[in-house]
Amino acid sequence: MSQVRVRFAPSPTGFLHIGGVRTALFNWLFARQQKGVFILRIEDTDQSRSTDESIQAIIEGMTWVGLDWDEGPFRQTERMELYRSHAMGLLERGQAYWCACKAEELEARRKEAEAKGLSPKYDGRCRNRNLMNPTGDAALRFKAPQEGETIVDDLIKGRILFDNQVQDDLIILRSNGYPTYNFSVVVDDALMNITHVVRGDDHLTNTPRQIPIFLALGFPVPHFGHLPMILGSDKTRLSKRHGATSIMAYKDMGYLPDAMVNYLVRLGWSHGDQELFSRQELIEKFSWKNVQTSAAVFNPDKLLWLNAEYIKTSPPSEVAQALVPLLDGAGLKEEAQAVSPDWLAQSVVLVKERAKTLVEMVDWVRPYLGQAVTYDEEAAKKFLTPAIEPALGKLLACFEAFPAFSKQQWEGAFKQVVEEEGMKMGQLAQPVRVALTGRTASPGLFEVMEVLGRDRTLLRLRQGIERASRS
RNA sequence: GUCCCCAUCGUCUAGCCUGGCCUAGGACAUUGCCCUUUCAAGGCAGUAACACGGGUUCAAAUCCCGUUGGGGACACCA
């Protein structure tokens, strides 16, 4: 069999949607598995809705999730001659005809038909008029077959039959000369030698419209596969009402691209009970057979869990790298620049068990940047009291006696102070925690000290003692 | 209205094709317990589903038909 060629063909009418990313992902996985070609094509034939910013957003989004393409991005607006010449070919062969019906008239007739409970399809009044389009304002319609049936052997849903009687004579060239979607996709998929057209479920009924056009044009018909939709929590089509739908919004919210990919692929595809997959595993294990046939509800909770998993298990240096833009965004640019990548990776290790997103991680990491610490007032009031001052002073003296930080030695000293003072661990730990981090919740105290280093630990301890004596 | 798709815990799903191993498995969420210097993380346990009705069969979550419910498409949008 010839080489697999698949494509992702979004229209640039807004940001890149997570549903689009999932469609792209399935195509990409298949292409990579089959050592095929993945093509990015921008469907921008709707002049009024397409924007360059949207094209940038698509490229940015695809790049962020790491879905690289082998050919393109192609833009349909750069291929107008192709569509026109193929449309004229159909006209010459009697497989298309000029239609002089005005858009408003069609709209009115459609409404009327609907009101009567009839099918809103085109009544075919120009079908046999053999118009010439002298004034140049007619639209070109495809002469769709009206008998028999069109078979779609769907990669995911299996064989589906469509009665040709319900098929419409679609407009393939608008009166302004631009092709319509159902025509330009066919020409492009054919000319780009696409072997498998995999797209959203919402295109399923377009397929029996497009197959006759492939046939009329004399092109081989590709395989088709229709992915089930992603729904919101109320089981309606996913939209802004359900929360963020732009892929880049998830970057800003502190999600890792690998977590995003893992979540999206499991939404509609499975491999037994496995939940976590590396990219390589996905490429190896992906199969159309295991793609779900029914729609799936987008579950932000599970995505969050997956992100936490990836934060915990990804190489800390990579997480640290991804964290930098978020640090910048939180107004910690200078602080972030002042530390080494290694140190940042070390603090990622310190807090990665507690942060479910990079945004949360910024907050966890904040106390370890800079010399002094900002107290949570409530915490300071509760734990940095005059009563604790002697114990803190004693601890400080012990630590000062050590020339360098050693987890084992410092922890031993800490326990000794606790014992001598007749305290419980927590009674000393919490004040120290507040002195060191400003908060009542933090990673293990001695891990914190290690990241802080001897000097800052002692500095903050002294400041904590001072605060305790003042209150 | 017409056409098409779909239907297992609240959610994502395994099982369905090739009926019996299913007193239906896993994951997220949720509840309880354990661990514990705090917060997490982790460990253990629990609650929770075959939409309904008919067939076929010794046997149906699995095959067939119908009903209901959900989704999608019917543009000079894509």
A376 vs A369: CA distance, rounded Å: 16
Q: Copy the structure tokens of residue A230.
A: 């992603």
Q: How many CA atoms lie within 13 A of A409 on its CB side?
A: 11
Q: How many angstroms is C1' of B2 away from CA of A118?
A: 7
Q: Which nucleotide is nearest to A200 (CA to C1')?
A: B72
- Give the C-alpha separation, A427 to A387, whole Å: 11
Give the nucleotide at minimum CA-to-C1' distance from A9.
Answer: B78
CA distance A313 to A310: 5
Protein residue nearest nucleotide B10, by CA to C1': A233
Q: With CA atoms as reference, report the closest residue to A126 among A105, A147, A148.
A: A105
What is the full per-residue pLDDT of chain A (471 aa) written as tens digits? 589 999 999 999 889 999 999 999 999 999 999 999 999 999 998 878 889 999 999 999 999 999 999 998 999 999 999 999 999 999 999 999 999 888 888 988 888 888 877 778 888 888 988 888 777 789 999 999 999 999 999 999 999 999 999 899 999 999 999 999 999 999 999 999 999 999 999 999 999 999 999 999 999 999 999 999 999 988 888 888 888 889 999 999 999 999 999 999 999 999 999 999 999 999 999 999 999 999 999 999 999 999 999 999 999 999 999 999 999 999 999 999 999 999 999 999 999 999 999 999 999 999 999 888 999 999 999 999 999 999 999 999 999 999 999 999 999 999 999 999 999 999 999 999 999 999 999 999 999 999 999 999 999 999 999 998 887
Distance CA A272, CA A389 (A): 58
Q: Which residue is nearest to nucleotide B40 (CA to C1')?
A: A354
For residue A150, CA distances in Å to A199, A211, A454 come to 19, 8, 76
> CA-to-C1' distance for A207 and B1, Å?
22
Tokens of A283: 């490429």
How far: A390 CA to B10 C1' (Å)? 53
Please report, rounded to whole angstroms, the spatial distance between the CA atom of protein residue A359 and the C1' atom of nucleotide B14.
34
Nucleotides of chain B touched by protein CB (<7 A): 1-8, 10-15, 25-29, 36-41, 70-78
Q: What span, in angstroms and rounded, lies between the C-alpha atoms of A269 and A258?
A: 16
Closest residue to B17 (CA to C1') is: A289
Which one is catalytic: A240, A302, A382, A415? A240
Distance A149 CA to B5 C1' (A): 17
Nearest nucleic acid nucleotide to A171, CA to C1' distance:
B76
Query: Distance in angstroms, CA of A295 to C1' of B25?
Result: 22
Q: Are A410 and A373 in contact (CB under 8 A)?
A: no
Q: Which tokens hold the place of A332?
A: 């910690």
Helix (H, G, I), strand (E, B) or coil at A97: strand
Across A130-143, b (16+ Cβ under 10 Å) vs e yields eeebeeeebbbbbb
**B12 C1': nearest CA residue:** A267
Residue whose CA lies closest to nucleotide B14 C1': A272
Nearest residue to B27, CA vs C1'?
A275
Nucleotide nearest to A184 (CA to C1'): B78
CA of A295 to C1' of B54 (A): 28
E-strand stretches of A184-291: 196-200, 223-227, 230-231
Q: Which nucleotide is nearest to A44 (CA to C1')?
A: B78
**Residue A365 C-alpha from the chain's centroid:** 25
- Measure the CA–CA gap between A427 and A430, rounded to whole angstroms: 6
Nearest nucleotide to the CA of A271, by C1', is B14
CA–CA distance, A8 with A186 (Å, rounded to integer): 14
Distance A268 CA to B71 C1' (A): 15
Tokens of A218: 């004399």
Q: Is there a contact between A9 and A187 (Cβ–Cβ < 8 Å)?
A: no
Question: A288-329: per-residue pLDDT in tens?
Answer: 999 999 999 999 999 999 999 999 999 999 999 999 999 999
Q: Taking the model in full, what pTM does it have?
A: 0.94
Give me A141's structure tokens. 């319609």
φ, ψ at A317 (rounded to 5°): -65, -35
Instruction: Calculate the angstrom distance between C1' of B51 and CA of A199.
Output: 29
**A240 is an active site residue:** yes
Residue owning tokens 């792209």: A24
Residue A196's CB is within 10 A of a number of other CB atoms, namely: 20
Place of tokens 């001072």: A466
How do residues A97-109 score in pLDDT, each as one tens digit? 999 888 888 988 8
Q: Which residue is nearest to nucleotide B2 (CA to C1')?
A: A119
Closest nucleotide to the alpha carbon of A118, via C1': B1
